[in-house]
Amino acid sequence: MTVLIVTHSRDHEGISLVMDAIAAQGGKAFRFDTDRFPTQTQLEIYFGLGTERFVLIDGANQLNLQDVSAVWYRRIRMGARIPTTMDTQLRQASVQESQATILGAIASLNVFHLDSVSHIRRAEHKQLQLQIARSLGLETPRTLITNNPQAVLEFARECSSGMVTKMLTTFAIYDRGQEQVVFTNSVKPEDLENLEGLRFCPMCFQENIPKALELRTTIVGQHVFTAAIDSQISPEARHDWRRQGLTLIDAWQPYTLPQELAVRLRQMMTYFQLNYGAFDLILTPDGRYIFLEINPVGEFYWLEKHAGLPISQAIADILTKSSPF
């Protein structure tokens, strides 16, 4: 029993927890830090007369990919260490070829995948998420995704409790080497007077939803783990708890979802053919649960470390006990 963990060298300690849990069950885990490919890690894929060979070589460590029983797809950073001094076009070609090489190798493994890259990519589409959530009876915020300033002005008039804006993709601005993540932000009246930038980049606008709690539900197979935080205790975190993520990290507490809601979230997982998903939800002051999004490879480590949810064990269990189909 050998699990291939596809990640990068700066991934968090949750990887080690899962590797330890796999070892405790008598299995082996091979950590493939994709940022080391192709500069430090080598891959050999050979198709010959009646024979095939798939070998991953990382220094003194070598893995025959045909011995792999399951793949945990976490993160990819192929080509990250290719020198930036390289010609821009040639470097981009090298990164693309590196990605195609690794993703092709992963796709060729006829084993259990947590999860299939194609399923992950489809599930990442926020518009589709909202559509499916609504079809399953989940309540969602009133939402507008557009590059039309006039549509935003009209939408703002619909949102009596105010409006927030966010990006559809993970986005950060780098200033003097420091990463500045773009969080969910409140839209102020003066912002509505300066919408011309939409002609360069569409944005997602949603009605502001009052919050009693923010919830993070992580589903691994049939296991449902939920933690809650009162983000409203910090003025700077009211629209996005991540803005004060480190300050509030010890405030996360285990939470039990209503059974009917848990069933609907599992139905969404089934639709997207996912075995792992991290849901962001809001509990309103009047007791309604609002679906925001699902992250098909969402983070979990802080919930295990600070809220005591045994997510890494559940991940190890599904990787060691599941069949390919």
pLDDT of residue 241: 64
pLDDT of residue 205: 96
What is the third-level CATH fold of 142-207? Dna Ligase; domain 1 (3.30.1490)
Q: What is the pLDDT of residues 13-62, one digit of tens each?
A: 999 999 999 999 999 999 999 999 999 999 999 999 999 999 999 988 99
Residue 325 has pLDDT above 80, yes or no: no
Structural domain boundaries of the chain? 2-110, 118-141+209-308, 142-207
* Residue, of 167 and 312, whose pLDDT is higher: 312
Q: How confident is the model at residue 246 (pLDDT cuts 50, 70, 90)?
A: low
What is the spatial distance between Cα 68 and Cα 5, in angstroms, rounded to a whole number?
Answer: 10
Kind plus residue range of the DSSP H or E element containing 18: helix 14-24
State pTM to two decimals. Answer: 0.91
pLDDT of residue 35: 96
168-181 exposure pattern, b = at least 16 Cβ within 10 A, e = fewer: eeeeeeeeeeeeee
Cβ atoms 293, 129 nearer than 8 A? yes
Residues 6+ apart with CB under 8 A from 156: 163, 187, 192, 205
pLDDT of residue 170: 73
Mean pLDDT score, 147-156: 96
With pLDDT > 70 as the criterion, what percentage of the chain qualifies? 92
3-state helix, strand, coil in the chain (%, to 5): 35, 30, 35
Q: How confident is the model at residue 69 (pLDDT cuts 50, 70, 90)?
A: very high
For residue 267, with 0-12 CB atoms within 10 Å meaning exposed, 13-18 middle and 19 or more buried, which class applies?
Answer: middle
For residue 219, with 0-12 CB atoms within 10 Å meaning exposed, 13-18 middle and 19 or more buried, which class applies?
Answer: buried
Contacts 24+ apart (CB under 8 A), 66-70: 67/2, 68/2, 68/3, 68/4, 68/30, 68/109, 68/111, 69/1, 69/2, 69/3, 69/27, 69/111, 69/112, 69/320, 70/1, 70/3, 70/4, 70/111, 70/112, 70/113, 70/114, 70/319, 70/320, 70/322
Averaged confidence pLDDT in the chain: 91
Residue 164 has pLDDT above 70, yes or no: yes
Lowest mean pLDDT among 110-124, 167-181, 222-236: 167-181
What is the spatial distance between Cα 111 and Cα 325, in angstroms, rounded to a whole number?
Answer: 8
Q: How confident is the model at residue 142 (pLDDT cuts 50, 70, 90)?
A: very high
Lowest mean pLDDT among 4-13, 75-84, 205-214, 237-246: 237-246
Query: Read out DSSP for 157-211?
Result: HH-TT-EEEE-SS--EEEETTEEEE---EEPPGGGGG--GGGGT--EEEEEPPP-
Neighbouring-strand partners of residue 73: 6
pLDDT of residue 171: 61
Mean pLDDT score, 247-269: 93
Q: Distance between the two ends of the chain, CA-based, in angstroms?
A: 17
pLDDT of residue 62: 93
pLDDT of residue 177: 55
pLDDT of residue 268: 98
Q: What is the pLDDT of residues 171-202, one digit of tens each?
A: 655 555 555 567 888 888 899 998 999 999 99
> What are the distances in angstroms from CA 138 to CA 24, 130, 292, 293?
39, 9, 10, 11
Domain 118-141+209-308 bears CATH identifier 3.30.470.10: no
Q: How confident is the model at residue 1 (pLDDT cuts 50, 70, 90)?
A: confident
Residue 316 has pLDDT above 80, yes or no: yes
